[in-house]
A and B are shown apart, each in its own frame.
Chain A
Amino acid sequence: MDRREVVLKADRLRVWYGSFLAIKDVDFQAKVGMVTALIGPSGCGKSTLLRSFNRMNDLIPSVKIGGSVEFRGRNIYDSSVDPTELRSRIGMVFQKPNPFPKSIFDNVAFGLRVNGYTGDIYEAVERSLRQAALWEEVKDRLNKSAFALSGGQQQRLCIARALAVEPEVVLMDEPASALDPIATLAIEQLIRELSRVYTIVIVTHNMQQAARVSDETAFLMVDDDRAGYLVEHGDTQQIFTNPKDERTEAYITGRFS
């Protein structure tokens, strides 16, 4: 495996919803400038794991966390960490495109404004839209509602919105699952493109997608108590061609899903 610097590191991470253990002792690493895919069957806690990396799980009152997640060497669940500030450094793109009911411009500008961006907002919006490969399609209608865009465009807008606040890590929760194949392809190309600048963790139920876009892949499974756990984490190539664990092999060859 690649020896790059680890940006995000989960150590024996456990997540409970009330008394239900959803994630059991997961160790995980995401390295700088790499795309790391989280794959596994439905209900194995991929999304829960992803959401514990930027403390989105905090928004659900019953959630409890055990173990630690280190971002740049610091435990993000330490009481001195402000989750609001953390989330501006670890961005997130959701499963369904969820632009605000605002103009295209205001969607991208929202994060800049709430984080007190001191530069030229217009410039930053253009830069983010270019990064998300959307600028050419929307530059003449920045003041139109984001809802006028197609699903794929909306998702790229959400990516632009996340990039605008200049995060170090971008978490993507099945970003293409609500899109058609062509829009999916555009998103995948974009992810490859973005990995030159950002560290990306992507949850996907689509194994071909994981194979296409990621450098490393982590495979999760769910035990009899419906708790998710990590089976194997390695180079994507190795996971898909020569998995060490027979459960991984069974999953990627489609023997269960």
Chain B
Amino acid sequence: MAAPPHTFDRKARFRRAQGVVFYFLFLGAVLVGIVGLVTLLVQILLQGVPWLSWHLLTDYPSRHPEQAGLRAAIFGTVWIMGLTAVLAVPIGVGAAVYLEEYAPRNWFTRILEINISNLAGVPSIVYGLLGLGLFVQIMSLGKTVLAGAMTLTLLVLPIVILASREAVRAVPSTYREAAYALGADQWQVVKGVVLPASAPGILTGTILAMSRAIGEAAPIVVISGLVYLTFVPASPLDRFTALPLQIFNWAARPQEGFRDLAAAGIIVLLVVLLSMNAVSILLRNRYQTKSEE
């Protein structure tokens, strides 16, 4: 038997070693993120948990860290989030339905789509300044809950639109065909088939958007600017403060106590955020099983 015309340098040991190295490299990449997050959480819990108390939730701010509370900030955040959801969901879903179901496939639609994707990446402070100029000054809404909610609406709209579009696009076209074949018109198809089938996905997108909005401090700093508020907003046209702003303010104070208080505030914010998400996920799951069982 003749020798093969080519020889191979298979480097089996080298390749095996290479495999191991990359395994640990990629594992390390995952751990960097997780370790960072866990360290942060542990530090905040250690610092903040001793300061958690009932009066932290029910009291207004104070010059003394032991007496200071988040009442105004919590109410402000609830107001802002509620109003933002009320504004952002119908507008966002409407825009998504237009782009997916109605818009002609032409250059104008494509420009719209590209712009929406880009808007999702604009820094939040830019939205804050836009809100300050447009809603607070030009529209004379003042530094109110409404102006804040409208600003956050602009901020989260691209996220709501993108997520809702994904959800609407994921509805099988066979559902639409079936509905059209029964003599449904376009609105009946959208209302009766497309929206119900995409609702779970839309809800998920909305959760994501709201989670982003609740933690935003930058636009709130610009729109509200208040941290020492001794009343809760009673209408959308009242002034307000919000959790991230209060936390930011406390963290920036020189006194040791306020920094611990800021950690406690972060815990409150996280709890509000997680429970909001939990409620939405429960809602979504209920909707999903209802339509699929």
B36 at the interface (CB under 8 A from A): no
Contact with B along A91-110 (1 / 0, CB 8 A): 11010101111100000001
A84 at the interface (CB under 8 A from B): yes
A59 at the interface (CB under 8 A from B): yes
Tell me the smallest distance from the CB of A128 to a CB of chain B, in Å: 12
A113 to B208, CA, bound (A): 35
Whether A111 lies near B182 (C-beta < 8 A) is: yes
A99 to B182, CA, bound (A): 12
Q: Considering the complex, which residues of chain A in the window 129-179 have a beta carbon less than 8 Å from any beta carbon of chain B?
A: 144-145, 147-148, 158, 161-162, 165
Tell me the smallest distance from the CB of A103 to a CB of chain B, in Å: 9
By beta carbon, the residue of chain A nearest B191 is: A114
A162 to B178, CA, bound (A): 9
A85 at the interface (CB under 8 A from B): yes
Tell me the smallest distance from the CB of B103 to a CB of chain A, in Å: 12
Segment with Cβ contacts to A, from B158-166, B192-200, B230-238: B192-200
Whether B291 lies near A101 (C-beta < 8 A) is: yes
Whether B181 lies near A92 (C-beta < 8 A) is: yes
Known: A101-B291, A102-B291, A147-B292. A114 touches B178 (CB 8 A): no
Instruction: Return chain A residues, CB-CB under 8 Å to B179.
Output: 100, 110, 114
Interface of chain B: mostly helix, strand, loop or mixed: helix
A162 to B183, CA, bound (A): 10
Q: Considering the complex, which residues of chain B in the window 192-229 have a beta carbon less than 8 Å from any beta carbon of chain A?
A: 192-193, 196-197
Whether A165 lies near B182 (C-beta < 8 A) is: yes
Whether B177 lies near A161 (C-beta < 8 A) is: no
B105 at the interface (CB under 8 A from A): yes
A88 at the interface (CB under 8 A from B): yes
A189 at the interface (CB under 8 A from B): no
**B180 interface neighbour in A59, A85, A113, Cβ under 8 Å:** A59
Whether B182 lies near A56 (C-beta < 8 A) is: no
Whether B178 lies near A98 (C-beta < 8 A) is: yes
Residue pairs across A and B with CB atoms within 8 Å: the count is 79
Tell me the smallest distance from the CB of B197 to a CB of chain A, in Å: 5
A87 at the interface (CB under 8 A from B): yes
Known: A101-B196, A101-B291, A145-B293. A111 touches B183 (CB 8 A): yes
Most buried by B among A92, A96, A98, A158: A98
Whether A145 lies near B175 (C-beta < 8 A) is: no
Known: A101-B291, A145-B291. A165 touches B178 (CB 8 A): no
**B292 interface neighbour in A86, A91, A101, Cβ under 8 Å:** A101
A114 to B189, CA, bound (A): 9
By beta carbon, the residue of chain A nearest B178 is: A98
A253 at the interface (CB under 8 A from B): no
Tell me the smallest distance from the CB of A163 to a CB of chain B, in Å: 11
By beta carbon, the residue of chain B nearest A54 is: B181
Whether B180 lies near A56 (C-beta < 8 A) is: yes
A115 at the interface (CB under 8 A from B): yes
Instruction: Return chain B residues, CB-CB under 8 Å to A89.
Output: 183
Instruction: Return chain A residues, CB-CB under 8 Å to B176.
Output: 59
Whether B181 lies near A162 (C-beta < 8 A) is: yes
A98 to B177, CA, bound (A): 9
Instruction: Return chain A residues, CB-CB under 8 Å to B174.
Output: 94, 96, 98
A102 to B227, CA, bound (A): 49
Whether B183 lies near A87 (C-beta < 8 A) is: yes
Instruction: Return chain A residues, CB-CB under 8 Å to B292.
Output: 101, 145, 147
Q: List 22 A-B contacts (CB under 8 A).
A: A61-B105, A87-B181, A91-B181, A98-B175, A100-B193, A100-B197, A101-B175, A101-B196, A101-B197, A101-B292, A102-B291, A110-B182, A114-B179, A114-B184, A114-B185, A115-B182, A115-B183, A145-B292, A148-B293, A161-B178, A161-B182, A165-B183
Instruction: Give 13 new A-B contacts, CB below 8 A, not counting A111-B183, A115-B182.
Output: A54-B181, A56-B180, A56-B181, A59-B180, A85-B183, A86-B183, A91-B181, A94-B178, A94-B181, A98-B177, A114-B184, A114-B192, A147-B292
